[in-house]
Amino acid sequence: MRPEGQTGFVSLVGAGPGRLEYLTLGALRRVERADMIFHDALLDPELLAQARPGAEVVNVGKRAACARAAKQDTILHLMVEAARKGAYVVRLKAGDPFVLGRGGEEGLYLRQQGVSFEVVPGLSSALLAPQVAGIPVTHRGLTTGFLTVSGHHLDGFRDLVLGLTPMSVTLVVLMGFRNRDALRDCLLELGWRSDLPLALIAGAGQAPQRVGRSTLGRLGLESEFDPQGAPVTMVIGWTAGLEIASDLETPTGARNARSAAAV
């Protein structure tokens, strides 16, 4: 948090799935004290309502229609400009700032520009999504490790999984739904079994949350699963065949909204 008496400070804050219930106490305190908040898309209005009266709240989400939110360079410029004017700035990011969230880029840029900052961790969908779907990423007798990987760049995905023994870990794939056919083909070519369990979780931790379950060989042949524009997390591995759901409804009502749709 901004040191007492200091002006021009930035907090890179992880907002988790964007729901108030999943926000850390440290993140909430920073939201409540910020002069300016630059936030990602898909954050719950209840979370943003925690900003103090008079704070300026700006949507710079990549999904927003706002023209100035279209480029990362614009976001960097806005943060630095506000901090240099003496504002306490919170960059409220979905998930965790340092897990496929460009927090590293933003931190490096702030350092280069001489702007003081901190990083406040958030709950990444790489852990949240499997959990709210009742899927442990590790389980005794099935797997002792997991790998979080982006599915956005196919070459990078292949390079990472190439060094793995097929089926030896649980794969948690973020930003890969559009490339699911190519990801499936890549894994099958590398010896991953077509009957390996798979789950798709859309809008993890939000309401409604949608979960589809199938196998690796059927990935891309979805007939019922519709993410409706929400981010999708893919879980591929033996643990994806488990469903250890809580007996209690989640704070967002996600348990009741889970879908059993085959994919």
Which active-site residues does the annotation give? 40, 62, 175
Distance CA 227, CA 172 (A): 17
* Cα 48 to Cα 43, 44, 133, 212, distances in angstroms: 7, 7, 26, 30
Strand, helix or coil at 97?
Answer: coil
The burial class, CB within 10 Å (0-12 / 13-18 / 19+), for 203 is: buried
Q: Are strands 232-236 and 197-202 parallel, antiparallel or unpaired?
A: antiparallel
Report the alpha-carbon distance of residue 27 to residue 25 in Å, rounded.
5
Instruction: Determine the 3-state secondary structure of 191 from DSSP.
Output: coil
